[in-house]
Structure formats: C-alpha cells, structure tokens
Chain A
Amino acid sequence: MSDVMAPLDGARFDGLVTVEALPAQGQITLRCEVSDDYRAKLSGLLGLAFPEPRKAVSDGDRALLWMSPDELLLLLPYDEVPEMLARLEETFPNWILLAVDVSDARAHFRLSGAPLRDVLSKLVPADMAPGAFVPGDVKRSKLAQVAAGIWLRGPEEAQLFCFRSVADYAFRVLATAAEPGGEVGFHGT
C-alpha cells in the first residue's frame, strides 16, 4: 500500500473553513439505464438505498452518489474495489452496464466550518443556499475554472471531488476563497 499516493494526500488549510485532501478513496462509476430491477439488485448488493436524483445515500464507509440520470458513483474503501467489480459482474451478468474503477481518477477534499456555504459560493455558480442545497445533496458544478462535484455531508461539512490533475488547483482556489478577511456573511453566518 505504500506505493499508493492520493493527490495532495494530507494537505490541509485552516481558514474560514478547513480544507483537507483526503486519502485514496475507492470509486466506481456505474452507468446503466435505471429500472426497478436495477434499483433492487444494486441496493441488494450494496446494502444501500438507491439515491434519488441529485442525492447521495451512505452507510459507514460506503456511499452511492447520483451523478446523472444514468450514472452513479459508488464510494467504498480503496482496497475493496477489485472485489466489488467482480461482484457487480456476478450481480449483473450480460447487463448493459458499465462499471469501472475510477478510484485514481478523482481527488477528494473535506471542507468543514460554519462559513462553508459562503466559501463555496465564491467559486461555485450553483446555488449553495440552505434551502437549495441540503445535507445529502450532490451537485455537479464548477469550482472556479474546473468541473467539481460537491456532496453536502452535514450542515457545515462537504466532500468535494474533482479530477486528480487539477487537485492542486482546486486546493489553492479553495484556500484562497477561505482566506481570513474574506467573510461575506451572505448565507447567514
């Protein structure tokens, strides 16, 4: 495992919010036309409910994120990916389904702190207001100039992911937006 190096692993910035680069995260992209059968089989396999549009469901170290009408992102421990791919194969034999390991393709960050929504609003064009983005929601939007996904995990905590090649850029723009003195006080904090 010492060979495995997640982008920016361990990087941290403490400002208006805390930005932490997370260690290697197992990730599987699932693309399939959604049907009741698919929902049932997938939920059965994962022990997770099937997420509603723009939502995430999670239990322990597993989560299932809605990415688009035919795409989900499964988060799980990094080492469990090969086995899970094999079990997906068993569960969906001859299905028109794409299940592929993207664990190394994306970088994940944890953002935490009271002004979370204000900091995100400096970089993300999507609505970060409490009424429009509630814990459990996933938004695929932009972080300044790059594509990013944001999963709101709690009232003051989000998990943000982007392509690994721009992890450094993402970390820097987040740190800039979280620089003290830049308080906005728009989203109520």
Chain B
Amino acid sequence: MSTRLAKGGRLTDRSKQIGFTFNGKRFTGFAGDTLASALLANDQMLLGRSFKYHRPRGVVASGAEEPNALVGLGQGARFEPDQRATTTELFDGLVADSQNHWPSLEFDVGEVNAKLARFLPAGFYYKTFLWPRAFWKHLYEPVIRRSAGLGKAPHPEVRDIDRYEHFHAHVDLLIVGGGVAGLQAAKAAGAAGAQVLLIEQGAHWGGRAPVDGGTIDGMAAADWVARTVAELETMENVRLRLRCMGAGVYDHGYVLGYERVTDHKPGAHGPRHRLWRIRCKQIVAATGAIERPLSFAGNDVPGVMLASALRDYVVNYGVSAGDRTVVVTNNDDAYRTAIVLKKAGLAVPVILDARPLGGGALMEEARALGIRVEPGRGIAKVLGGKRVTGVATCLQAGEGSVLEEIPCDAVAMSGGWSPVVHLWSHCGGKLAWDAENAVFRPDPTRAPTGADGAPFLGTAGAASGAFHLSDTLADAEKAAVAAAEALGHAATAAPPQAEAASEAALLPVWLMPQGARAELRMKAFLDYQNDVKVSDVQLAAREGYESVEHTKRYTTLGMATDQGKLSNINGLAVLSDALGTPVPQVGTTTFRPPYTPISFGAIAGEARGEIFQPLRRTPMQDLHESNHAAWEPVGQWRRPYCYPHPGEAKRDAVNREINATRQSLGILDASTLGKILVKGPDAGRFLDMMYTNMMSTLPVGKCRYGLMCNENGFLMDDGVVVRLSEDSWLCHTTSGGADHVHAHMEDWLQCEWWDWKVFTANLTEQYAQIAVVGPNARNLLETLGGMDVSKEALPFMTWAEGALAGTPARVYRISFSGELSYEIAVPANRGRAFWGKLLEAGRAWDITPYGTEALHVMRAEKGFIMIGDESDGTVIPQDLGLSWAISKKKADFLGKRAQERTDMARDDRWQLVGLETLDGSVLPDGAYAIAPGRNANGQRNTQGRVTSTYYSPTLKKGIAMGLVRHGPDRMGEVLGFTAEEQDHTDDKPTLVEARIVSPVFYDPEGEKQNV
C-alpha cells in the first residue's frame, strides 16, 4: 500500500495537519502536500476511470504532465472539473471527487468496455456506427456521450463566484521556468543589466535538481537554489513570480502567463487567477523535460508510475507508493529512484534494465546498496487490476515469455526524458531529432523569429536537451548571454561548476518487450487519458495512416486534456516503427497553446456581469431608467425601445407613443446618432466622394439627407448632413455606424487623399440630441422661448443656432416621422436638464417620450428606409428607390464605379415596394415571396422578401416594406409570402397574401411635416 513515511518530505510541514475529503471520505494531509501526495499518503491509489474502457487509473506523474489523476475540485460555485491532483496544492477543507465512473469508483459498469476492448479499436466510432443512419442521433451518440468523457460540466445555473483579472507586463526578457536553468539564466541576464521577469508554474523554485541531487558550486542543489533565489530577490531589475505558468508564446514576443493567485487559499481576497499578457523582447524557455513512460502490458495499472514521480513523492512529500517497487528503465536516471527508495528503507526487489549491458556509475551505486540489477530484461506484463501486485519479467529482446514473477506494490518506469519544447514550437521553432538521447530537441538554427528575422526565443537547460546537471547550467548561461546580447547588454558566460554522477547512454525502447505479442500490445498504453494503445497506432498504420497528424486524429492519441505530454514521442515512435519510416521523417504533431489548460475565468478577466462589455449611456440614460424604459441594444448603446406604463404591454406602449406623437407631441432621445465634424478647404470635395449625392453645393444653414456607399457600391450608412459654415459640415450617421463612418473617413483621408486639406472630429458624444415631434412641436419650442422657430424663420431642412429656455442649442428642422419635427442638439452636460425642461413645458400637450420601436414604425409609415433593415450589405441605393440621391453630375464618388458593374446595373434586381396584407395582418419579418417552380437544389423559387414589417396604429393594419423583383412595375399585384408556421412535411407552403403598394403609407404629399 501507499503510505506516509516516518520522516522526510522536503516540501511538507508535518506540524500543520490539513483536512480534506475525496469522494466524501475524510482524509488528512500536511501543509505543502499536493492533493496527489496527500491521497497517496492515505493509500488512495485508485483515482479515476479511463475515458474509453473505464479502466482503473491512479497517479502516474508528479507534475503538469499528469494524465490520470484528474478530479472534480470544489463544490457549487467553486466546482471545476478535470483538475490535476498533482498540481493542486492541498488546502484545508478541499473537496475532490473522482470522475468518469458509474455508479462508483470501485465498481464501474463501464468497465465492461474493457472486456470489449478488441471490438473498440482505433477509429471504431467511424467504422461501427455507420448503419442504420437514424440510430446515430437517437441511440449511438447519446450512449457514447454518456459513457465517454471526463469530468462533468458545472451546473448551468451556477455562477463562478471568484473574480479574475488580466495584467499587462512589458519586460525585456521573460524567462519561463524556475528550475536551476531558469534561475541561472535570470542571474546571468540580470547581472548583464536586462529587465527580467522569471515565472515558475509551481509553488517552489529549483525544479527537479533538489530531488535529483548533484552539487553546484560545491553546494547541494537545494542550497544553491535558496542562495540564488535570495540573490535574485535583491536585484532591482529581476522580478520573480511563482504559480505563474508560461501558457503560450505568440507573434511579436507576446506571451500569456497563467497565475493561480488564490487556488491554494480559496475564498481569500483578490482574484483567483490572473492572466499575464506579457510583451517581451526576448524569451528564454527553461521549461525542463518530461519523463516518458515505457510501453508494456499493464503499464496503466494503478501503482505503475514514472520513476521520477516515485522519487518526488518520497523526497518532496515523504510518501511511498508501496513497500516494494520494481524499477524498469532504459537509462541511468531511473537508478536514482531505486537509490532514493532503498535509502528511505524501502525494498527494491529488482531493477529491470532493458539495455543488454545495463548502465554506468549509478548502476554500480545501486548494486553497492544491494539492489539486484537485471540487464537486458523488461516487463512482460504487470500483475493486478485495481493496483499492482507484481510483475512478470521477460527478455527485452524477446516476445514476452515470462521468466519470473516478482511480487511488488509499485513499478517505477522510465523510458528517458523529452525536453518540453512546447513554448519553442508555439511560434514556429523547429525541432531536430537527437538519436543519441532519442529526443526531439529545439534546433537552434531554426528558432522562432521576430519581425526583424532574428530569434526571439531560446531554450535553456533540459528544455534544450542538456539533461546532465553540468550541461544544464552551462546551456542556461549560454541562453541568458545570447538573450542579453540580443537586448544590447554586454555579457560573458561564467556558469557555475556543477557536478553529478556520469550517466551511460540510453537505449531507445518504444515497446517492451520489443517483439511483444498482440495480446500484450493490446494492453500496452500510450495515451492513458484517451486509452490509446500500441496496437491502435499499429492498426492505424496498417490501415494506411502515414501522417502523424492523421494518426493522431484517427486514434485520438494526444488529444486529451494533457495533449500527449507523456504519449506523444512514444506514439510517433511506434508509428515510425510500424511504417518503417525513421522517427524524424514521421515528425511530431503541432504544439499549440496553452501548455496546460487555463481557466475560462482567466481568459475573461474582469469582463463579466455589469462590465462584461461597455454599455454606452446617453446623458439622459438614468431618466429613461427611472421612467421604466424597455431596452433595445443598438451597437453598444441601450436605447429605450418604449416606455411601458405599469401593467402595459410593450406592444400597447408602442402604439400609444405613436398615436400621442402623431396627434400631439412626442420626444425621442436621439443622442446616439453619430455626429462627425468635417472641416477644411477640401471638405466639400471630400464629402462629395463620401456621399452618393452632392454635398459641396449645400448652402450654409441647410440640411440634406445623404447616402454613403462603400467602394463596392453597397449602401453603408445614411443621415442628414448639415452645412455649418463655408468650410465645415456636420455629418449625422446611424447610431451603430458612427465609429465606423468616422474610421472610414479617416482611412480615406490618411491613406488615399492625404494631401487634401480636411480635418474630422467625432462629436457624437458632445451633444445630447432630442427629437421634438408632432403637431405641437413648434408650440413647445415657442413656449421654451429664445429662438424663432416659425415656418418662415426655420423652414423644413434648415437649421439655426441660439438658446432655448437658456440652454445653448442648435435646432435642425428635419423629420423622420412625417410630422412637424425638430431635432435639438444641446451640450451633453446639459442634456438631462434640457430633457426635464421639455417634459415640464410639454405637459400642456401631453408630451410623450417615445422609443426606438415607435421611431421605426413612424419611419416605415413614411416609407423611409432603415440601415440594417432595408440594407444588409448586398443592397445598393438603386434597389431602394433612392436613385434621386445619387448624383449624375459628379465625376466620382465611392461606389460609383461598382454600381456600374453588370450585376448592379441589371434591371431585375429586387427593388423596394410597400406591402399590405389582404387580411390586414402583419407579415412575418424576413418572409419570402414564393415564385413558381424550384431551383437546381430542389428549393422553391423566390421573387422577393420582407425587409421590415410592423403593425401601424396610424393605419390600424399591418404594413411592410420589401424587396421584390421588378417590384415598382407590379403595383397592385398580389404575392404569396411564407407564413410564420410551416408544415415541414407538406409540399404546399402556408402563405400569407400581400399586395404590392407604394412604400409611402402615410401622408404621401408631405403636408404634415411641412407646416
């Protein structure tokens, strides 16, 4: 059984007990434990079930590479699935649950899948569930979805109660990884004068060195680490950050760091995670290496662990995985585990060394401790189901005939080490195959390069493939010097003296034994999390999968949350063997960020709840709020849709607002309309290019409705243009279009007509703008007093400046409703007060604030188009009966040439008409007018569509606008439009009949607005 040893535990504090629960059972650990070490200390070896076969699985690793020990962590508003027990720091009250089991962890029904394993080979989804087709949706998919998968998603109604944030940091040099290589690199680059940020994903500095031993500058590794950290802390130009992972490297030296600020003390003040958005000039990835498993039958039984992890648990946490541990290896490093175990008083029955001649100095040391070493041997299979009970040994060179059965509680395996090349690869760094160490390591001649073509990222230490301590520090020094020099600092390499036992060469072992029979290969797991075995990859190769990327997707190798950290190299080596293609030619799959999964909360940062996105507010917004407005989003604005009275339906409120406005007086908050000032000697010429109609000839004091097209000829925006003075115009835009139109203008001015003398300024927010509409509009303004707003002084489509009721104001005599109407712009800071004055003075006429829906209906009653309704990016002004607003005189304007193209000029484009249902009902929005026959795809032909449709309280019936082929020539014709409800099996569509009429439903002569 796994247990806590009597002493030991470099990182734990035995004076501080910590209580936690796993699957409802109460356990105790120590401060400094990880959840994995605390569970092992309590003999909880079985931690979950595998994805596909529901095989029992336990801890394999001790760090970020862990594929098995995933738990659901926390409860309720702090529940999170798929958390790695190996990187979860233990805290008081921690609650964890195992995943992917039913009904219980110990007894799992899905385990029957394992019995059926021979029927569930690679790609079985693709092969098995093809027929009958209907079964997929209703039977196969639901069952597969229930039995597969890892953790469960948090409850949809529960909200994460923690907060998250971003942090933007700019540094010269970012060093990722706080092992001895990262520390040495920081020290060297810091000493050279670089601004350094050193981040480490774990809670401790020093990485593996304190466990693996060796001396640096005559000191034990742990002492050197402590001294170096203390030294770095005194350097002003070096910053250190624990619990902060380098998640991804992107173009231009942009790096994402993932800091777990309070994961180890939930509920503490402050954000839970902080996403570091780091812009740096140089990066050193000192990301270390990950040990590889060996592929032998039963290598997934709980108790089979990476050799390095076993010694981590003993040295760091004082926890043993079992009394008797068999070590199986193809290299010298695993002997360190045997030596550590033996020195801790534990039994190592045998070291199985796949190399025919065994290892070097470390083997001699192990033998001297009395450990039996068997060179040339391997594991035929692991004995035991829910945990290891022993191993059957065999010759590595053979097919798996059992030589001996050796009882044991744990197996420490090592297939060598792979450099963590993820960050190197994220931004295009290439790898080279190092046959001697059987690893892909960064190829320094093909580094990730920046905009200047020079490398911006280097690796240091084990991440470069410099595994031996003496090489590690020298390599780190070299990387730091290169980075410092690239930053313009003078630096010379002076690495510390490091010593560690010499190591004999490793023997690549991709399958154990090398000639393993089929039944062994079917139990030799490559990818633990996705249950991919050696036999699956071999099958894929036999079926013709040659590309490693295709094999990955077909077998799901490396596609789980661990992204193949343990399985990648083993899997592609098996593929290479099966294809008879050398490993470097097979290559690796693509390394993509993040290095390990990061929380959605960290990505969202502060953007949640009320600050999920900016909500723009007009100066009168809080008055609308207190007036119980119902809201409509318009861009990032929230505009009042209508103002329902208590108990009043929105529909009724809209009708009331329209009737009140048409009969007496309404006011609208139009502050959101874009207002762009265009000024300069070339402003008229510029606006003639921007708008389809002529703006340069507009007299001072007048207003003109204008259309703006993009260079493809499509209608982009509309609005009233006002001539303010000889050299300045004010362009009104749609509410949603203001920023875009301003950017569009600046784009043309800065990139194309940079020599034109024109300046623009976006004044949208300078003014509160209020439309005063209705037969009593003039009466109201005259009551306020201060300006002559009579028909004679201020005729339709003119403007005047002055003061109304003591408020400085610009009054535009324009109308979008067909009524007598003024739009009044006042300084935004006075908008709130001015709105109040209007309401006060307007009481005599029962003044009624109206919202966007009333605005839309009144526009539609007049046949005025709406950008976004009648236009959708494919509509040109000519489609909308707006040819009158397209200048024939101008030599050019944006869109002119495009509108001459064949498709734009053809005479059967759908064109704007009014539509009236025969029964007075409201046509469905977006409904199509059916035409006889069917197209090549068997779909019904169409001849038009509804673009906006409303109930008109003025006319007391449904009115609509639409685009219809040859529409204006077909007045009076009745078309069939698709009804809201359709019977999908019926060949005969349900239609609503509507007659083509003029789009101007109300006051076609314009008598009302022109009084």
Q: Which residues of A contact B (CB under 8 A)?
A: 2-7, 24, 29, 31-32, 70, 96-98, 100-106, 118, 121-129, 132, 144-146, 163-169, 172-173, 176-177, 179-184, 186
Contact = CB atoms under 8 A, between A and B. Distances in A.
Interface string B732-763: 00000000000000000000000001010101
B166 A104 contact: no
A96 B616 contact: no
B269 A105 contact: no
Interface residues of B, number: 49
Given A5-B829, A176-B611, A179-B163, 19 more contacts: A2-B833, A3-B830, A5-B830, A7-B617, A31-B761, A98-B677, A101-B827, A104-B765, A104-B828, A105-B766, A118-B167, A121-B168, A122-B606, A125-B168, A145-B607, A169-B616, A173-B611, A180-B269, A186-B239
A15 B606 CA distance: 16
18 contacts: A5-B830, A5-B832, A5-B833, A7-B619, A104-B767, A106-B765, A123-B606, A125-B277, A127-B170, A144-B605, A146-B614, A164-B619, A165-B618, A166-B617, A176-B163, A176-B165, A179-B270, A182-B271
B616 to A, nearest CB: 4
Contacts of A163: 616, 765
Nearest to A164: B765
A102 B676 CA distance: 12
Contacts of B763: 100, 102, 105
B838 to A, nearest CB: 13
B829 A104 contact: yes
Given A102-B766, A124-B168, A169 B677 contact: no
A96 B606 contact: no
B619 A182 contact: no
A145 B613 contact: yes
B165 A121 contact: no
B681 interface: yes
Contacts, number: 137
B169 interface: yes
Interface string B154-180: 000000000101111110000000000
B610 interface: yes
A168 B607 contact: no
A105 B765 contact: yes
B765 to A, nearest CB: 4
A114 B91 CA distance: 32
Nearest to B614: A169
Contacts of A183: 270
Interface string B404-424: 000000000000000000000
B637 interface: yes
A122 B765 contact: no
Given A122-B168, A164-B765, A182-B271, A169 B619 contact: no
Contacts of A32: 759
Mostly, the B contact residues are mixed
Contacts of A128: 168
Given A4-B830, A146-B614, A98 B680 contact: yes
A104 B766 contact: yes
Contacts of B828: 104-105, 164
Nearest to A104: B828
A83 to B, nearest CB: 14
A165 B765 contact: yes
Contact of A172 (B605, B611, B757): B611
B355 interface: no
B909 interface: no
A68 B548 CA distance: 51
A104 B827 CA distance: 6
Contacts of A166: 614, 616-617
Contacts of B829: 3-6, 24, 103-104
A177 B271 CA distance: 10
A173 B614 CA distance: 10
Nearest to A102: B766
A168 B613 contact: no
Contacts of A127: 168, 170, 279
Nearest to A175: B611
Contact of B167 (A5, A104, A105, A121): A121
A144 B607 contact: yes
B680 A96 contact: yes
A184 B274 contact: yes
A126 B169 CA distance: 9
B403 to A, nearest CB: 60
A21 to B, nearest CB: 13
A181 B767 CA distance: 40
Contact of A144 (B239, B274, B606, B757): B606
A168 B613 CA distance: 11
B615 interface: yes
A181 B614 CA distance: 24
A84 to B, nearest CB: 15
A103 B807 CA distance: 15
A181 B757 contact: no
Contact of B610 (A96, A172, A177): A172
A122 B605 CA distance: 9
A31 B277 CA distance: 34
B905 interface: no
B844 interface: no
Contacts of B832: 5
A127 B757 CA distance: 34
B377 interface: no
Contacts of B759: 31-32, 70, 96-98
A102 B464 CA distance: 57
Interface string B753-796: 00001010101111100000000000000000000000000000
Chain B CB count within 10 A is highest, among A6, A103, A129, A184, for A184
A169 B767 CA distance: 19
B729 to A, nearest CB: 12
Contacts of A125: 168, 277
Nearest to B830: A3
